[in-house]
Amino acid sequence: MVIAKLMKRKAGLAILVASTTFAATVSIGISSAHAAAGDINYSYFTKNFGWTPMKGRLPNMDCKDRSYSNAVIKGINLGVYDAAPYMYTENGKMTGIDYDINIAVLEYIGIKKHKDILLQWPQMIPALLSKRIDVIGGDIHENPDRLKSIAFTTTAWWYGTTLMVKSDNPKGIKTWADLQKPGVKVGVLTGSFVGEFLAKLSPKPDLVLVPDSNSEFQSLASGKVDVVVDDAPKEGAYMISNPGSGLKILSAATSNPPVDFQDTDAKFALRPADCSLNQAYSRGLAELRDHGVITQILKKYGLGDGDNLFMPNYKP
């Protein structure tokens, strides 16, 4: 009788295991059926709102990786660089708009450990792809070429790209169209989106590539270049720190910037495979925007509420 009961119990266990296996298989099948990433209905937005989203902009949201949970346990390597007011060293410590925002996000999503990895800007994407860093913490412009290899977070805040010249403006530069005039040397940051954009124009501007923003502004002050094209917050921070530089920023309202540079959103970047970490980071950014934390950080560095809001006269 004991043997019979054991055999019956064993048979029942086998049925349970088989049923569980079948259920798991069905569950996996259902999950797989929905695993394909969705895509944007581009024509809907073009037709109804006059705006066509960038191809490939919608990130993978069907996360099955453990990048977020691993980051909570082990921490992350944060890619940082020297470009005030975004990121810079003060009294031996890293600070700046983007740095403070990254730290706030990490605290919000429960990642208690991180290590700063100081890099030159052109090293950022290679360092991310080689897993030397886990997040590009300096805001990086989203464009189709970069979307082929890296994934972007949601927007942290907004800013503009402007022209900077010497106070006496000897070449008489007034608009972006003047960048294409013969004899005008244009300083741009190596690896920057604006540099890539200008290089594709015809006629092509006379571009002078520099490794970092400080070198860029110093090249303008010394007369090595006639104009610099960079982010307005960086240009403003340099002028505040160097009041005798003899430089000035041309008004975006009158310099007629291309649509791509009328308003730029600050995003951070991760590896496409790190889906769950990206989702956590993006949710953290959205929550911190909603509750005014990012606005407080912007005000700390002299920027107003408008730098954290979508401006209606600009496309998304």
Residue 283 falls inside a structural domain: yes
How many whole angstroms separate alpha carbon 101 and alpha carbon 96?
9
How many domains, in total, are found in the chain?
2
Asked if residue 292 and residue 200 are part of one domain, the reply reads no
Asked if residue 214 and residue 140 are part of one domain, the reply reads no
How many whole angstroms separate alpha carbon 8 and alpha carbon 217?
83
How many whole angstroms separate alpha carbon 49 and alpha carbon 3?
74
Asked if residue 127 and residue 107 are part of one domain, the reply reads yes
Q: Whole domain around residue 182: which residue ranges? A: 161-261
Asked if residue 290 and residue 229 are part of one domain, the reply reads no
Q: From 261, 276, 298, give the residue that closes a domain.
A: 261
Residue 28 falls inside a structural domain: no
Per-residue burial over 163-191, b = 16 or more CB atoms within 10 Å of its CB, e = otherwise: bbbbeeeeeebeebebbeeeebbbbbbeb
For the stretch 77-121, pLDDT in tens is: 999 999 889 999 999 999 999 999 999 999 999 999 999 999 999
pLDDT at 305: 58
Cβ atoms of residues 250 and 165 within 8 Å:
yes
Residue 105 falls inside a structural domain: yes
Lowest mean pLDDT among 93-97, 156-160, 245-249: 156-160
Asked if residue 91 and residue 149 are part of one domain, the reply reads yes
264-266 vs 247-249, strand pairing mode: unpaired
- Grouping H, G, I as helix, E, B as strand and the rest as coil, residue 81 is coil
| Bridge partners (DSSP) listed for residue 136 | 79, 269
Asked if residue 147 and residue 86 are part of one domain, the reply reads yes
For the stretch 131-147, pLDDT in tens is: 999 999 998 988 889 99
Asked if residue 278 and residue 251 are part of one domain, the reply reads no
pLDDT at 254 over 80: no
pLDDT at 257: 79
Phi, psi angles (nearest 5°) of residue 270: -135, 175
Residue 191 falls inside a structural domain: yes
pLDDT at 200: 93
pLDDT at 262: 63
Asked if residue 99 and residue 230 are part of one domain, the reply reads no
Asked if residue 238 and residue 117 are part of one domain, the reply reads no
Residue 238 falls inside a structural domain: yes
Asked if residue 257 and residue 169 are part of one domain, the reply reads yes
Residues 6+ apart with CB under 8 A from 205: 179, 180, 184, 186, 198
Asked if residue 144 and residue 69 are part of one domain, the reply reads yes
Query: To the nearest whole percent, how much of the chain has pLDDT over 70?
Result: 83
pLDDT at 75 over 60: yes
For the chain, report the end-to-end CA distance as a whole number of angstroms.
Answer: 76
Residue 216 falls inside a structural domain: yes
The whole-chain average pLDDT of the chain stands at: 84
Which of 314 and 42 is assigned the larger pLDDT?
A: 42
Q: What is the CATH number of the domain that holds 214?
A: 3.40.190.10
Residue 94 falls inside a structural domain: yes
Asked if residue 237 and residue 104 are part of one domain, the reply reads no
